[in-house]
Structure 1
């Protein structure tokens, strides 16, 4: 029809979506850049919009995929194009990731699965904004009995009570522990207080023949082992 336009033409992003799906299916997820992985997720949550700018805005604001998944919903919705529904889906994905990591540790011997243990600790704590002290309680085969939060704190202090740690270890009939906490600053260098509390817990558990295998400190810079550093 003269003067008329072709209203049946697909938006440009429809073709992009198809190409991105094809790349994922034929070459595998590892072939996708971080923002492209985000795009694939957002495509399911936002069906009628170009999601590439949203994916790139999320990456620019938070810096990494792990930081995006760890971000509170209130921060996610500050990114243009991310509403409460999308934020809720991203938080659900973060929880799936954490639970899958937890299952891996629960089904394997923690000490012999050191890389999985480090991944688990990093996933759980590296982006926590408050300091949190946790203990992994292990049985005689070094399999996980429980992962429990023993103390919350401000940005730089989480109170830990050695008597409470000993009581809980005895209740669970644990044979060994791995101490874990985070440094919200991102710097995982052990402080004097970190070393002192570790030694206090070791001393408190020694009469009960309960071993402290390690103390791990998580942050955006990675995970530091006090044992590997020769500090315990």
Structure 2
């Protein structure tokens, strides 16, 4: 059935405008993005089919171009559009974080770090550089390692912190295994970095570990 034949309140675009984006299902949101369906399949039916094929909305959003374009109804133009949507989301979260105090919005910080790190296939060590009011000056991936570990060099973190004239740092890294629980090695390198930064009077406020569905805060565990 064509979307035009559905009652107006059941059409994704009209429903979004009337009730807000949060009222839509994953399939309905994806249908708005797709705009059109295929022969014998309207946009909502195509969206539902794709979500079942990929397993989840997240898997679709993080798919490679080859994976994405191998499904009927999807091509390089839609892949480019999707990547633009994903990147705009990351930049929106980054902008929101940089406008305020990272410590007064821990959930916003977790959302942003998760968007940057969660779907990486290799471990990455990420740093938020903060001014003396704990506002974000800059952020960088400083180290990338194998799927199991990243080699983190305190002198390089000190160098980048001095470059940005940072007063404080928030650290983060991902666990490609999907398990966010910090390891003993994570706690050891955090302690080394805290000690190294103390020599140049720069505080480390927190260290987040990003997993598949959880972000663990060292500060919340009482480890900082």
Normalised by the length of structure 2, the TM-score is 0.90
User: Which residue does the alignment assign to 1:14?
Assistant: 4
Give the equivalent residue in structure 2 for 1:7: none
Residue in structure 2 matched with residue 200 of structure 1 by the alignment: 192
Could you list the per-position Cα deviations for residues 51-93 of structure 1 after superposition, in whole angstroms to 9, with x for gaps in the alignment?
2233123322444434432322222123222111111111110
- Deviation readout 1:181-231 (Å, 9 max, x if unpaired): 111111101011111111110111111111011110112121011221233
Of 143, 155, 162, 2:135 maps to 143
2:23 paired residue number? 31
- CA distance in structure 2 between the partners assigned to 1:119 and 1:146 by the alignment: 17
Contact 1:130 1:156 in 2 (8 A): yes
Report deviation, 1:20: 2.6
Q: Residue 210 of structure 2 aligns to a residue in which SS?
A: strand
1:123, distance to aligned residue in structure 2 (A)? 1.3
Structure 1: where are the runs of 5+ without partners?
Answer: 1-10
Aligned pair 1:74/2:66, yes or no? yes
Query: In terms of Rg, which structure is larger?
Result: 1
Check if 1:40 corresponds to 2:3: no
Asked if structure 2 preserves the Cα contact closer than 8 Å seen for 1:110 and 1:144, the reply is yes
Quick one: distance in 2 between partners of 1:66 and 1:176?
33
- CA gap 1:17/1:69 in 2 versus in 1, 3 angstroms: farther
Q: Structure 2: which 5+ runs fail to align?
A: none
What's the Cα RMSD here?
1.9
**Quick check: 2:206–2:219 contact (8 Å CA) kept in 1?**
yes
Where does residue 210 of structure 1 map in the other structure? 202
Task: From 164, 170, 173, give the equivalent of 2:156.
Answer: 164
TM-score normalized with structure 1 length: 0.87
**C-alpha distance 60-155 of structure 1, shift in aligned 2 (>3 A):** farther
Q: Deviations over 1:128-184 (max 9, x none)?
A: 111111100101000001101111122111221111001111121111100011111
Classify the secondary structure of the residue corresponding to 1:208: coil
- Mapped to 2, the partners of 1:77 and 1:220 lie a distance apart of 25
